[in-house]
Structures are given as structure tokens and as C-alpha cells.
Chain A
Amino acid sequence: CTPTVKVEASDKPITINLNVKIEHEIRVKVDKELDSILSEDSGLF
């Protein structure tokens, strides 16, 4: 993420704009990994 920061004269407040997206698609990320762990050629399934 690329926050934008404005730093002005010493007494002025610093402004930080920050966008955060909390992804919960862990199923998607984990799914691919588990598919390979629990597969014929992994020897574990």
C-alpha cells in the first residue's frame, strides 16, 4: 500500500492517509497449498 504523507513546517501536524484492506480469503490461499499436500503424488493422501 502506498500511504501519502505531507510533512510541512515544523509545528504543522503531519498527515498520513493510509488504506488497509483485510483480506479473509484464506480459503483460497490455503486451498491451493492443501490441494498439493493432499494429492496422489504427495504420498500423504
Chain B
Amino acid sequence: IDIHWQQTFSTHKTFRKWLNTPILPFDMTGGSFAGDAVIELNKGETEFKQFKVSLHEAQGVYQTGTFKGVQLQLSSPSQQLGSYKTQQAVTFDSFYAELNSHINELNMGIKANNIDLNGLLYNQLNEWHFKTPLSKATVFSGLVEIQNEDINFNDAIQLELIVDRLDLSELVRTQNMDGLYASGKLSGRIPVHYINGQFNVSDGHMNSIDGGKIRYTTPLSQSTNINDQLKLTFDVLEDFNYTTLNSKIIYDDDTLLFKSAISGRNPTVANGRLINLNLNTEVGLKGALETMRIQSGIDLNIEAFIRSKIKHSNNQYYCQ
């Protein structure tokens, strides 16, 4: 059997409504989905011979964010793909398919743009793998890349994010803390571990490329009843020009910690003497992302998606 399909989506005719199933963890509300599959049926065994799927200008929503401008092609070379034993989930003993995809924007509170996700999706001993020579995205006007990674989704995942020239001012602006401004470009490496549903980072690091500024003005700094150590700190931070910034990144159980060693000077403090600022910045990541989602207005789409529970009928899917 040679199956072809082509479907375009809208806010009223979404991907999940079309497939009449709520089990997909995402939905598509725009763009088109096409594909064809060559299947051989013999005596209770279904073999996928060939398989090609593509998305064009797809947009939609998932549990914690939205995506738009997705061009995707997933295609397998024509040879025995895998067999499907009746009454069992689809088993693929030698499935592999090439993935080429580009996503204009993924917004989870923090925006990732121009994402290129290319590699090989394959199934080995019933475990799904994704192997990529290079996948990348633009975040905070800088580049985040993964190189030569082979991800086994059934096992603990260890990925190294290679970060290049993130713009510190954009990063700080997302926290919209009144009176705080910082500039400079940060590069580094962040090894991310993922194991049974939890992310953690134990020794990520980012360093400034060529220095920058930190300015923090608060009405408090003018008040008289603060101790002189705090007064000096506020004076320094009024116009702190740093030459080096080395930040160690640790993330576990929703707490993101930047342990930064920053050295620089404030020309008007202690006549410009060198200052070593050891700054520990702790952020509750889930709360931060949730606030950023509310601020960017995407939380309404997410809620509509979560609310749209589609009650599919008794396990029968009709193919018109």
C-alpha cells in the first residue's frame, strides 16, 4: 500500500483535531503537513518500505511554548524499514531516517531563532536515537550549538551546549529588574545532563569576550541608613566597567546559579582602583520562564492548548 497525505491546518482545523487524538504533546495551528509511506502487509506483519514526511511553514504550540516557521523533512532511504507486529506498538528493527529541519522561532519565554536541526533519527534494539553532526540556534543574538552528538532517548542524555557571543544586555533585560543594565558578550560551554525527566548542569562556564559594563541604580543607594559596605557596593555598581567576567553555571532542581568572578574598575570609586566582584546570582528557573511567558503573551495560547482536551472516540481512527 502506498499512502499519500496532505493536510493544511488552521486555528479551527488543528493537527490534533485532524488526527482526532489528544496524545500528541503539541498541536499545529498553521502550515501544511504532507507525506507518503510505502507499506507491505503480509500475514499479520506490516513492513514500512519507504517513508517521507514534510512540514511547510508549520506553527503551533506545546506544553511550555510556541513555535512558528517550521520547515521539516524526515525521509528514509528505500530499504526495509521495520515491521509492525499486530496488536503491538510499531516495532522498527532497522528504522532510520534523515532529518533536515529549520525553525524560525521557538518561544518558551526565552526565544530561540533560526534553529537548524539536522541529523539521523534511527531505532536500534528498540531504542530511539538522534545523531547530529551539528545543530544550532540563535539565542540572545548569540549562537548555541551542539556538535557530533548521539542522543539515546531511552538512556540518560549528556549534551554539551557550545555558546558563542551571547549578548549579556539581552539576557539581563529578560529579568526586567528596574535600574539594572549590563553589557558584554559571553561565550563558553554548558554540559547538560538529562536523566528521568530532570535536567541538571554541574560545571557549565561562560566568559566575557572583551569586557563590558554593569550599571545598577537603586533609590536605596542615596539613603543614609545603609552600612558603608553596602554604600561602597552601590557606588561601585553605579558605573562598573569590567575587563574580565568568568561565570560558573550550575543548575539543579529549578535553581539556576551563576557564580561570577568579575574584575574591573569604577573611575569615580577609590580613584579607579581594581575591584574584584564575586557575584552569585540565583534564579528560580520555572518561575522566571513562567513570568517571561506571561510577559510575551504566549501563556494564553498555551492555556488554550491545554484546555483543548479532545475526547477521541473508542480507539478507532477513521481514514477518509
A and B form one complex: yes
> Does B290 interact with chain A (Cβ within 8 Å)?
yes
Select which of B177, B229, B274, B283 is within 8 A of A4 by beta carbon. Answer: B229
- B249 CB to closest chain A CB (Å) equals 15
A25 within 8 A of B: yes
- Return the CB mask of B207-248 against A: 1 if under 8 Å, else 0: 000000000000000000001011011001000000000000
Interface residues of B (CB under 8 A from A): 175, 177, 227, 229-230, 232-233, 236, 263, 270, 273-284, 287-288, 290-291
Q: Are A16 and B275 in touch, CB under 8 angstroms? A: yes
The secondary structure that dominates the B interface is mixed
Size category of the A interface is 20 to 34
B288 is contacted by which of A4, A7, A22 (Cβ under 8 Å)? A22
Tell whether A24 pairs with B273 under 8 Å between CB atoms, given A3-B233, A16-B232, A16-B236. no
Cα of A23 to Cα of B175 in the assembled complex, Å: 10
Asked if A2 contacts B229 (CB within 8 A), the reply is yes
The distance from the CB of A15 to the nearest CB of chain B, in whole angstroms, is 5
CB distance from B250 to the nearest CB of A (A): 14
> Is the beta-carbon distance between B282 and A14 smaller than 8 angstroms?
no
When C-beta atoms are compared, the residue in chain A nearest to B177 turns out to be: A22
Query: Across the two chains, which residue of chain A brings its CB closest to B231?
Result: A5
